Amino acid sequence: MAMNMEHTHKQFDAELERIRTGVLTMGGLVESQIVRAMEGLKTGNLELLEEVILQDREVNRMNVELDDACGHIIVLRQPAAIDLRLVMTVMRTVADLERIGDEAKKIAKAARRLHSGTVPYRGLVYLSRTADVAVSMLRQALDGFARADSSAAETVEKQDDQVDAAFKATMRQLITFMMEDPRTISASLEVLFIAKAIERIGDHAKNISEYVVFMTQGIDVRYPKSTAEEGQSEN
């Protein structure tokens, strides 16, 4: 009986390790999508952009597999609180990673449209630096997940503010271009679409860093105040 229990514990540990590893593999894949999409935007490499778009299928497949694995663990293993927090964190994280993959695909599709036109695309605004910050946020959030360390959450939140401010500045700049030269409207709208996708990637990376706080401390920091607290403050 004791041997069976030990075997069951080892199986459970292996399943938890599998979903942990799966998250990091999926995270590496979506990070690659972002980097490659931005490279395609910069260089006009249509083949590279097409690869990024097709890679989204693999991201979606991993999302489904990890979701299924988490459901299996919850139903069959009935994990205790600390392990349940890990499983819930994985489920939330893969959902955000899947959405980051969607945003990377949007960037690649917009870049493909920009570089497939009859007029050669010349960069209207510089987006690479903001994309680098968003990628850094994702890396820090996933590193925190891998090490069960939530200390990066505050840094990621500050970087998210930078990404949001950069998006607003880009939007103002592009509106100015469109007003001054209507011929730039089509390209400006595509670039704005890309800038918004980068801003959304930052939001999802911030979410993941907050899930790590929940995983390690059992605190949900997504909502600073509960509804009850808000109600009390209004009275």
pTM (global) more than 0.95: no
CA distances from 211 to 10, 152, 154 (A): 26, 12, 13
174-208 pLDDT, tens digit per residue, is 999 999 999 999 999 999 999 999 999 999 999 99
| Of 29-33, 111-115, 228-232, minimum mean pLDDT range | 228-232
pLDDT value, residue 159:
97
Distance CA 160, CA 208 (A): 12
1-38 pLDDT, tens digit per residue, is 444 555 567 898 899 999 999 999 999 999 999 999 99
Q: Report whether 209 contacts 137 (CB < 8 A).
A: yes
Q: Is residue 232 predicted with pLDDT exceeding 50? A: no
Distance CA 166, CA 169 (A): 5
Which DSSP state fits 121?
A: P
Which DSSP state fits 120?
A: P
Distance CA 12, CA 28 (A): 25
Distance CA 101, CA 138 (A): 12
